[in-house]
Structure 1
Amino acid sequence: MIHKVFVRIPSSRVGVLIGRGGSVKQRIEKEFGVKLYIDGNSGGIEIVLDEESKTVSDMMIAKNIVYAIGLGFSPEKAFYLAKEDAMFEVIDLEKDLGIEGAHVERLLGRVIGRDGKIRSLIEELTGCYISISDELKSIAIIGSGEGFEVARQAIRMLLEGRQHSTVFKYLFRERRRIKRMEFEFWRTPELG
């Protein structure tokens, strides 16, 4: 039985997916036991699982990596999705939230911030990667654990129109809470 999936990415991102000398494409094919058939004009990618290869879940990880690259993540950041605890979410402003026209650009701008400072702060405080695609009108998050949930909530707060200062307070408060939890987890019990 042949297992395959199809994903479409912007044709402007096909070169990044292929990589210099085909390096990114080859890495995906080798690590996940798949073959990528790429239509450079339409951006259509067919991902086929090799017959004597790995599992269907490896094919789905490869699909998510291809999709993440299409959303604007660098291949290095997209390969984070190969980790066991990795999480990936895409918020499509038009399809998921019903936002259209100039409102999309305004909301993407709120999440990006002046000179990308808001996005950078969310990434720094949560340990996540965030990609904002004006072409696809979407925001994508790659991360794991508590940091992923905090990044997701911070972005939702910005999209709901909360003030940046409110979101900053939330981020710093959650960062302290997570650090405290990590400290408690690794603290050795006192000898008595």
Structure 2
Amino acid sequence: MRQNLPRVPKERIAVLIGAKGATRRQLEQQAGCKRLVIDSDSGDISVEWPKTGEFDPVKALKLPDVIKAIGRGMSPEKAMQLLQDDWFFEIVDLRNFVGKRQNQLRRVRSRLIGSKGRIRRMIESLTGCEISIYNSTVVIVGDELGLAFARQSVEMIASGSEHGTVLSMLEKGRKRQRIEMRSLDAIETVEETPSGEVSFAELVPGLDRVAAARKLKAAQVNTDDEEEVEEVMWLSDDEEIAWEEE
């Protein structure tokens, strides 16, 4: 099966092919295709796939985005992460924010990159995404949650927001994610006991409730703070466990 892929700018063709075709071969191997055909003159690209059932259809759907990302300035190594099931692709057109004026596009690109690339690296670090800024576009690849935060950050900066405001938003978002993850970790899955057997929790009424509350509290403790650690080791005034013999 033959599939046409997005055209790549001529200045990016060499990057896509790689030294002695190394990048093209790597892409063919990771995508599971038979052959990647690149026209060095026009930038046209097509791919030949094996017979149906002999390749991953999800990778066939994602390969066009990989080519787009490489064509828009992203390194092939970073772009190929898109072949993972849980990684996705976003592209932001800066002209939608500042028009086609080159001086304005340069200004926005500079703000997104920051001094020595600092702002871009911080956004990547806080969202877990990869970002490429090329001409009038910004390419973002990452998982679903990180992608949403990264896109919001790019759009806020392109709209004129201060760097501090954007980074603060990302920090709060990351803290909120940590709390949600800790809360999920604190939820205990109650397994059904075999018929005729009595669980320990049934012998000690209230144990499940207290244990869940203390586990959630412990998950929110800063382990580097000795006072917090010591405090969580003691029962609170309102904590009481009652039990009785059968």
Normalising by structure 1, report the TM-score: 0.87
Is 182-191 or 58-67 further displaced after alignment? 182-191
Q: What residue number does 2:43 align with?
A: 43
Question: What amino acid maps onto 2:131 in structure 1?
Answer: I
Q: What residue number does 1:142 align with?
A: 141
Secondary structure, aligned partner of 2:131: strand
Secondary structure, aligned partner of 1:8: coil
Contact 1:49 1:56 in 2 (8 A): no
Q: How far apart are 1:170 and its partner, in Å?
A: 0.8
Offset from partner CA, 1:17-37 (integer Å, 9 cap, x none)? 112332221122233343211
Secondary structure, aligned partner of 2:6: strand
Secondary structure, aligned partner of 2:88: strand
Q: CA RMSD of the aligned region, Å?
A: 2.1
> 1:27-176 counterparts in 2 under 5 A?
27-34=26-33, 35-52=35-52, 53-94=54-95, 96-97=96-97, 99-101=99-101, 102-134=103-135, 137-176=136-175
Q: What residue number does 2:182 align with?
A: 183
Structure (1 or 2) with the larger CA radius of gyration: 2
Q: How far apart are 1:98 and its partner, in Å?
A: 6.7
Question: What amino acid maps onto 2:100 in structure 1?
Answer: E
Inter-partner Cα distance in structure 2 for 1:186 and 1:24: 41
Normalising by structure 2, report the TM-score: 0.69
Query: Which structure has more strand as a fraction of its residues?
Result: 1
Secondary structure, aligned partner of 1:40: coil
Inter-partner Cα distance in structure 2 for 1:116 and 1:157: 18
Question: What amino acid maps onto 1:85 in structure 2?
Answer: D
Inter-partner Cα distance in structure 1 for 2:47 and 2:4: 5
Question: What amino acid maps onto 1:150 in structure 2?
Answer: F
Greater relative CO (CA pairs within 8 A, separation 6+): 1
Unaligned runs of 5+ in 2: 189-210, 213-240, 242-246
Inter-partner Cα distance in structure 1 for 2:76 and 2:184: 33
Alignment identity in percent?
Answer: 32
Q: How far apart are 1:188 and its partner, in Å?
A: 5.5
Is 44-53 or 142-151 further displaced after alignment? 44-53
Question: What amino acid maps onto 1:72 in structure 2?
Answer: G
Question: What amino acid maps onto 1:132 in structure 2?
Answer: I
Q: How far apart are 1:10 and its partner, in Å?
A: 2.0
Question: What amino acid maps onto 1:83 in structure 2?
Answer: Q
